Amino acid sequence: MPAQARTFSQSNATMDSRDIVYVNGSFLPRADARVSVEDRGFVFGDGVYEVVRAINGRLFAARFHNTRLERSLKGIRIDLVGDDSPERFVEIGKQLLRENKLLEGEATLYIQITRGATTRAHYFPPPEITPTVYISVARFTPYAALAEGGAAAISHPDLRWGRCDLKTLNLLPNVLASQTAKERGAFEAMLIRDGVVTEGAKTNFFGVVNGILRTHPRDNHILPGITRSVLEDLARSLSIELDETPISINEIPKVTELFLTGTTTDVMPIVKLDDKPVGSGRPGEITRRLQRVLAENLASAGD
Ligand code: PDD
Protein backbone atom coordinates (compact mmCIF):
# COMPACT_ATOMS: atom_id res chain seq x y z
CA MET A 1 0.00 0.00 0.00
CA PRO A 2 1.43 3.47 -0.83
CA ALA A 3 2.58 5.46 2.21
CA GLN A 4 -0.10 8.10 1.64
CA ALA A 5 -2.95 5.58 1.56
CA ARG A 6 -1.72 4.15 4.85
CA THR A 7 -1.79 7.60 6.47
CA PHE A 8 -5.42 8.36 5.78
CA SER A 9 -6.90 4.88 5.98
CA GLN A 10 -6.38 4.92 9.73
CA SER A 11 -9.61 5.54 11.58
CA ASN A 12 -10.00 8.97 13.10
CA ALA A 13 -12.62 7.79 15.54
CA THR A 14 -10.90 6.28 18.53
CA MET A 15 -13.09 4.74 21.20
CA ASP A 16 -12.91 7.04 24.20
CA SER A 17 -12.96 5.44 27.63
CA ARG A 18 -16.31 7.20 28.22
CA ASP A 19 -18.02 6.71 24.90
CA ILE A 20 -21.40 8.31 25.52
CA VAL A 21 -23.81 9.16 22.69
CA TYR A 22 -27.29 10.67 22.49
CA VAL A 23 -30.24 8.86 20.92
CA ASN A 24 -33.83 10.13 21.05
CA GLY A 25 -33.65 11.88 24.41
CA SER A 26 -31.20 9.55 26.18
CA PHE A 27 -27.48 9.78 26.92
CA LEU A 28 -26.01 6.28 26.97
CA PRO A 29 -22.86 4.26 26.15
CA ARG A 30 -22.40 3.91 22.40
CA ALA A 31 -22.45 0.11 22.73
CA ASP A 32 -25.94 0.30 24.27
CA ALA A 33 -27.39 2.81 21.80
CA ARG A 34 -30.18 1.37 19.63
CA VAL A 35 -32.39 2.40 16.75
CA SER A 36 -35.09 0.26 15.15
CA VAL A 37 -34.37 -1.91 12.09
CA GLU A 38 -37.46 -0.17 10.66
CA ASP A 39 -35.74 3.22 10.91
CA ARG A 40 -36.08 5.06 7.61
CA GLY A 41 -32.45 6.10 7.82
CA PHE A 42 -31.53 2.41 7.71
CA VAL A 43 -34.17 1.38 5.16
CA PHE A 44 -34.16 4.36 2.77
CA GLY A 45 -31.26 6.64 3.78
CA ASP A 46 -34.15 9.00 4.57
CA GLY A 47 -32.44 11.61 6.72
CA VAL A 48 -29.89 14.40 6.99
CA TYR A 49 -26.71 15.01 8.96
CA GLU A 50 -24.03 17.50 9.96
CA VAL A 51 -20.37 17.18 10.95
CA VAL A 52 -19.04 20.02 13.13
CA ARG A 53 -15.43 20.57 14.20
CA ALA A 54 -14.66 20.97 17.91
CA ILE A 55 -11.36 22.52 18.94
CA ASN A 56 -10.61 22.61 22.66
CA GLY A 57 -14.33 22.30 23.34
CA ARG A 58 -15.29 25.17 21.01
CA LEU A 59 -17.45 24.36 18.00
CA PHE A 60 -16.25 25.95 14.78
CA ALA A 61 -18.90 27.89 12.81
CA ALA A 62 -21.76 26.17 14.67
CA ARG A 63 -24.26 28.81 13.56
CA PHE A 64 -23.53 28.09 9.89
CA HIS A 65 -23.96 24.36 10.51
CA ASN A 66 -27.28 25.06 12.27
CA THR A 67 -28.53 27.07 9.30
CA ARG A 68 -27.49 24.36 6.86
CA LEU A 69 -29.12 21.63 8.98
CA GLU A 70 -32.34 23.65 9.13
CA ARG A 71 -32.22 23.98 5.34
CA SER A 72 -31.53 20.26 4.80
CA LEU A 73 -34.42 19.29 7.11
CA LYS A 74 -36.74 21.65 5.25
CA GLY A 75 -35.42 20.43 1.90
CA ILE A 76 -36.49 16.84 2.62
CA ARG A 77 -39.57 17.90 4.65
CA ILE A 78 -38.65 16.58 8.09
CA ASP A 79 -40.33 18.54 10.90
CA LEU A 80 -38.64 18.40 14.29
CA VAL A 81 -40.91 17.92 17.29
CA GLY A 82 -41.07 19.38 20.81
CA ASP A 83 -38.02 21.38 21.84
CA ASP A 84 -35.81 19.84 19.18
CA SER A 85 -33.89 22.32 17.02
CA PRO A 86 -30.40 22.52 15.49
CA GLU A 87 -29.42 24.86 18.37
CA ARG A 88 -30.52 22.25 20.91
CA PHE A 89 -28.55 19.55 19.08
CA VAL A 90 -25.42 21.70 19.31
CA GLU A 91 -25.99 22.13 23.06
CA ILE A 92 -26.31 18.34 23.36
CA GLY A 93 -23.07 18.09 21.38
CA LYS A 94 -21.33 20.36 23.88
CA GLN A 95 -22.61 18.18 26.71
CA LEU A 96 -21.26 15.10 24.91
CA LEU A 97 -17.85 16.77 24.57
CA ARG A 98 -17.85 17.29 28.34
CA GLU A 99 -19.14 13.77 29.12
CA ASN A 100 -16.53 12.20 26.84
CA LYS A 101 -13.68 14.37 28.12
CA LEU A 102 -13.08 15.91 24.71
CA LEU A 103 -12.76 19.51 25.86
CA GLU A 104 -9.09 19.52 24.94
CA GLY A 105 -7.69 18.97 21.48
CA GLU A 106 -9.57 18.09 18.31
CA ALA A 107 -12.89 16.30 18.01
CA THR A 108 -15.87 16.06 15.67
CA LEU A 109 -19.55 16.31 16.45
CA TYR A 110 -21.93 14.20 14.35
CA ILE A 111 -25.67 15.01 14.23
CA GLN A 112 -28.08 12.77 12.31
CA ILE A 113 -31.85 13.06 11.98
CA THR A 114 -34.00 10.54 10.13
CA ARG A 115 -37.71 10.50 9.36
CA GLY A 116 -38.22 7.92 12.15
CA ALA A 117 -39.10 4.22 12.38
CA THR A 118 -42.21 2.67 10.85
CA THR A 119 -43.35 -0.18 8.60
CA ARG A 120 -41.64 0.18 5.24
CA ALA A 121 -43.50 2.34 2.73
CA HIS A 122 -41.97 4.89 0.37
CA TYR A 123 -44.32 7.74 1.24
CA PHE A 124 -43.97 9.64 4.53
CA PRO A 125 -45.09 7.96 7.77
CA PRO A 126 -48.11 9.32 9.70
CA PRO A 127 -47.51 12.38 11.91
CA GLU A 128 -47.29 10.36 15.16
CA ILE A 129 -44.01 8.85 13.89
CA THR A 130 -41.35 11.24 15.13
CA PRO A 131 -37.82 11.77 13.78
CA THR A 132 -34.91 9.74 15.13
CA VAL A 133 -32.12 11.95 16.51
CA TYR A 134 -28.62 10.56 16.95
CA ILE A 135 -25.71 12.71 18.15
CA SER A 136 -22.15 11.59 18.88
CA VAL A 137 -18.64 12.96 19.28
CA ALA A 138 -15.29 11.42 18.41
CA ARG A 139 -11.61 12.22 18.82
CA PHE A 140 -10.17 13.60 15.59
CA THR A 141 -6.59 13.87 14.32
CA PRO A 142 -6.08 16.44 11.53
CA TYR A 143 -4.17 15.25 8.45
CA ALA A 144 -1.17 17.43 9.31
CA ALA A 145 1.55 15.57 7.37
CA LEU A 146 -0.60 15.21 4.27
CA ALA A 147 -1.60 18.88 4.43
CA GLU A 148 2.08 19.82 4.49
CA GLY A 149 3.24 17.81 1.47
CA GLY A 150 -0.04 17.64 -0.42
CA ALA A 151 -2.30 14.73 -1.33
CA ALA A 152 -3.35 12.86 -4.46
CA ALA A 153 -6.80 12.88 -6.08
CA ILE A 154 -8.46 11.06 -8.94
CA SER A 155 -11.17 12.35 -11.26
CA HIS A 156 -14.42 10.41 -11.13
CA PRO A 157 -17.90 10.78 -12.68
CA ASP A 158 -20.38 12.60 -10.43
CA LEU A 159 -23.23 10.09 -10.26
CA ARG A 160 -25.28 11.88 -7.59
CA TRP A 161 -28.83 13.22 -7.66
CA GLY A 162 -30.01 16.78 -8.41
CA ARG A 163 -30.08 18.06 -4.79
CA CYS A 164 -26.46 17.78 -3.71
CA ASP A 165 -27.00 21.06 -1.83
CA LEU A 166 -28.85 19.10 0.88
CA LYS A 167 -26.66 17.18 3.32
CA THR A 168 -28.57 13.91 3.18
CA LEU A 169 -27.65 10.40 4.29
CA ASN A 170 -27.90 9.18 0.69
CA LEU A 171 -24.16 8.94 0.16
CA LEU A 172 -23.81 5.86 -2.03
CA PRO A 173 -22.20 7.63 -5.03
CA ASN A 174 -19.86 9.42 -2.59
CA VAL A 175 -19.00 6.12 -0.88
CA LEU A 176 -18.23 4.39 -4.19
CA ALA A 177 -16.12 7.30 -5.46
CA SER A 178 -14.21 7.46 -2.14
CA GLN A 179 -13.50 3.75 -2.26
CA THR A 180 -12.20 3.99 -5.85
CA ALA A 181 -9.93 6.86 -4.76
CA LYS A 182 -8.64 4.84 -1.84
CA GLU A 183 -7.97 1.80 -4.03
CA ARG A 184 -5.94 4.03 -6.33
CA GLY A 185 -3.89 5.41 -3.43
CA ALA A 186 -5.60 8.81 -3.55
CA PHE A 187 -7.07 10.95 -0.77
CA GLU A 188 -10.14 12.18 -2.63
CA ALA A 189 -12.24 11.76 -5.76
CA MET A 190 -12.79 14.95 -7.76
CA LEU A 191 -16.29 14.63 -9.21
CA ILE A 192 -17.06 15.57 -12.81
CA ARG A 193 -20.56 16.33 -14.08
CA ASP A 194 -21.37 17.64 -17.56
CA GLY A 195 -17.70 18.29 -18.25
CA VAL A 196 -16.97 20.39 -15.16
CA VAL A 197 -15.53 19.80 -11.69
CA THR A 198 -18.35 19.93 -9.14
CA GLU A 199 -16.74 18.99 -5.81
CA GLY A 200 -15.16 16.07 -3.98
CA ALA A 201 -16.86 13.00 -2.51
CA LYS A 202 -16.60 14.65 0.92
CA THR A 203 -15.01 18.05 0.18
CA ASN A 204 -15.28 21.15 -2.01
CA PHE A 205 -12.69 21.73 -4.74
CA PHE A 206 -10.80 24.92 -5.65
CA GLY A 207 -8.25 25.41 -8.43
CA VAL A 208 -6.06 28.16 -9.85
CA VAL A 209 -6.35 28.68 -13.61
CA ASN A 210 -4.47 31.52 -15.33
CA GLY A 211 -3.66 32.91 -11.87
CA ILE A 212 -7.36 33.11 -10.82
CA LEU A 213 -8.83 31.09 -7.98
CA ARG A 214 -11.91 29.21 -9.19
CA THR A 215 -14.58 27.01 -7.66
CA HIS A 216 -17.99 25.67 -8.63
CA PRO A 217 -20.83 28.14 -7.94
CA ARG A 218 -23.16 27.48 -5.05
CA ASP A 219 -26.05 25.62 -6.66
CA ASN A 220 -27.88 22.27 -6.47
CA HIS A 221 -24.83 20.35 -7.76
CA ILE A 222 -22.60 20.95 -4.74
CA LEU A 223 -22.88 20.97 -0.98
CA PRO A 224 -22.52 24.55 0.26
CA GLY A 225 -19.52 23.67 2.43
CA ILE A 226 -19.07 25.62 5.64
CA THR A 227 -15.30 25.60 5.14
CA ARG A 228 -15.86 26.73 1.54
CA SER A 229 -17.84 29.76 2.70
CA VAL A 230 -15.38 30.63 5.49
CA LEU A 231 -12.61 30.40 2.91
CA GLU A 232 -14.48 32.67 0.51
CA ASP A 233 -14.46 35.39 3.18
CA LEU A 234 -10.82 34.76 4.00
CA ALA A 235 -9.83 34.96 0.33
CA ARG A 236 -11.64 38.29 0.10
CA SER A 237 -9.81 39.58 3.20
CA LEU A 238 -6.50 38.68 1.50
CA SER A 239 -7.64 40.37 -1.75
CA ILE A 240 -7.50 37.02 -3.54
CA GLU A 241 -10.09 37.14 -6.31
CA LEU A 242 -12.48 34.16 -6.38
CA ASP A 243 -14.27 33.34 -9.61
CA GLU A 244 -17.24 30.98 -9.24
CA THR A 245 -16.96 29.66 -12.78
CA PRO A 246 -16.53 25.89 -12.60
CA ILE A 247 -13.30 24.39 -13.90
CA SER A 248 -13.97 22.44 -17.10
CA ILE A 249 -12.19 19.19 -17.86
CA ASN A 250 -10.46 20.92 -20.80
CA GLU A 251 -8.91 23.39 -18.36
CA ILE A 252 -7.51 20.73 -16.03
CA PRO A 253 -4.07 20.62 -17.76
CA LYS A 254 -3.83 24.40 -17.13
CA VAL A 255 -4.58 24.13 -13.38
CA THR A 256 -1.48 25.31 -11.50
CA GLU A 257 -2.84 24.81 -7.98
CA LEU A 258 -5.57 22.56 -6.68
CA PHE A 259 -6.92 22.13 -3.19
CA LEU A 260 -9.97 20.93 -1.35
CA THR A 261 -11.79 22.13 1.74
CA GLY A 262 -13.92 20.47 4.39
CA THR A 263 -14.63 20.29 8.10
CA THR A 264 -12.25 17.38 8.58
CA THR A 265 -9.74 18.30 5.86
CA ASP A 266 -9.28 22.10 6.26
CA VAL A 267 -7.36 23.29 3.18
CA MET A 268 -5.74 20.20 1.67
CA PRO A 269 -3.38 20.78 -1.26
CA ILE A 270 -3.80 18.34 -4.15
CA VAL A 271 -0.43 17.89 -5.81
CA LYS A 272 -1.23 14.89 -7.98
CA LEU A 273 -4.32 14.32 -10.08
CA ASP A 274 -4.84 11.02 -11.91
CA ASP A 275 -1.16 10.21 -11.28
CA LYS A 276 0.05 13.45 -12.93
CA PRO A 277 1.59 16.36 -11.00
CA VAL A 278 -0.56 19.45 -10.53
CA GLY A 279 1.47 22.56 -11.39
CA SER A 280 4.94 22.22 -9.87
CA GLY A 281 3.85 19.07 -8.01
CA ARG A 282 4.07 20.98 -4.74
CA PRO A 283 1.45 23.02 -2.83
CA GLY A 284 1.13 26.41 -4.53
CA GLU A 285 1.39 29.90 -3.10
CA ILE A 286 -2.34 30.75 -2.99
CA THR A 287 -3.05 27.36 -1.41
CA ARG A 288 -0.43 27.97 1.27
CA ARG A 289 -1.73 31.43 2.09
CA LEU A 290 -5.29 30.17 2.44
CA GLN A 291 -4.13 27.16 4.41
CA ARG A 292 -2.36 29.46 6.88
CA VAL A 293 -5.22 31.91 7.25
CA LEU A 294 -7.78 29.12 7.77
CA ALA A 295 -5.55 27.54 10.44
CA GLU A 296 -5.41 30.91 12.24
CA ASN A 297 -9.17 31.26 11.97
CA LEU A 298 -9.77 27.74 13.31
CA ALA A 299 -7.45 28.41 16.24
CA SER A 300 -9.14 31.67 17.23
CA ALA A 301 -12.82 31.30 16.31
CA GLY A 302 -15.60 29.30 17.90
CA ASP A 303 -19.03 29.40 19.42
N1 PDD B 1 -18.36 16.19 4.36
N2 PDD B 1 -18.97 18.35 -0.16
C3 PDD B 1 -19.43 17.19 0.31
C4 PDD B 1 -20.08 16.24 -0.63
C5 PDD B 1 -19.30 16.87 1.68
O6 PDD B 1 -19.78 15.71 2.15
C7 PDD B 1 -18.64 17.79 2.54
C8 PDD B 1 -18.48 17.52 4.01
C9 PDD B 1 -18.15 18.99 1.99
C10 PDD B 1 -17.47 20.04 2.83
O11 PDD B 1 -18.39 20.70 3.65
P12 PDD B 1 -17.95 21.32 5.04
O13 PDD B 1 -16.89 22.30 4.78
O14 PDD B 1 -19.20 21.92 5.56
O15 PDD B 1 -17.46 20.17 5.91
C16 PDD B 1 -18.36 19.25 0.64
C17 PDD B 1 -18.46 15.83 5.76
C18 PDD B 1 -17.33 16.34 6.58
C19 PDD B 1 -18.70 14.34 5.87
O20 PDD B 1 -19.54 13.85 5.13
O21 PDD B 1 -18.09 13.68 6.73
Domain ranges of the chain: 3-139, 144-299
In CATH, what number does 3-139 get?
3.30.470.10
pLDDT band at residue 18, thresholds of 50, 70 and 90?
confident
Pocket test for ligand 1, best of 160, 263, 294, 297 (most atoms within 8 A of CB): 263
Alpha helices in the chain (DSSP H): 3-9, 40-44, 62-75, 86-99, 144-149, 172-183, 226-237, 285-300
CA of 100 to the centre of ligand 1 (A): 24
Pocket test for ligand 1, best of 50, 51, 156 (most atoms within 8 A of CB): 51
Q: What is the mean pLDDT of residues 171-196?
A: 98
Q: What is the mean pLDDT of residues 269-275?
A: 98
Condensed to tens digits (0 to 9), the pLDDT of residues 193-243 reads 999 999 999 999 999 999 999 999 999 999 999 999 999 999 999 999 999
Q: Is ligand 1 within 6 A of the CB of residue 41?
A: no
What does DSSP say about strands 20-23 and 132-139: parallel, antiparallel, or unpaired? antiparallel
Given the residues 94, 167, 202, 272, select the one marked as catalytic: 167
In CATH, what number does 144-299 get?
3.20.10.10
pLDDT over threshold 70, residue 14: no
